[in-house]
Amino acid sequence: MRAFRAAVEAHDLDAVEALLADDVVFTSPVVFKPYHGRAITAAILRGVARVFEDFRYERAIGDAEGRDHALVFRARVGDREISGCDFLHLDESGRIDELTVMVRPLSGAQALQAAMAAQFERIAEEAQARSGG
């Protein structure tokens, strides 16, 4: 999805959030249970933007007119290189209703998990503020 990729690459997290459906389901590469809702998903993506360094998309896979897309990326967390993929599904209105992220290698996923755990309190606060709570 071009709009999502462009917003991520521009570090425009408000634009990323605007592309999310209210009932989006985010599946993390390092947490077992998925997260539900725009506020928590947007807060997680803001946390990811804080911990990923040298993030870049390398290619897009999928039908430009279809509802399923995959964006292959590379990044660094601390001294660990990560490669991964964002899998996006769009609802009937063109908003992202499913976002699944996968990363490798295991050492990179572990570095990501540790970095995101350190962001957890801030993520929870941002999600609460965005949901009006």
CATH number for position 61: 3.10.450.50
Mean pLDDT of each 10-residue bin along the chain, 133 residues long: 91 96 96 94 96 96 89 96 97 96 96 93 90 73
- Tell me, what's the pLDDT at 102? 97
Count structural domains, the chain.
1
Helices 38-51 and 106-130: crossing angle in degrees, nearest 10, is 130
Question: Residue type at 11?
Answer: H
Q: Which domain holds residue 9?
A: 2-130
Which residues sit opposite 112 in a β-bridge?
none
- Tell me, what's the pLDDT at 133? 64
- Tell me, what's the pLDDT at 130? 82
Radius of gyration of the chain (CA): 14
Cis peptide before 105 (omega within 30 of 0): yes
Which residues sit opposite 35 in a β-bridge?
26
Which distant-in-sequence residues (6+ apart) come within 8 Å of 34 by Cβ?
25, 26, 27, 28
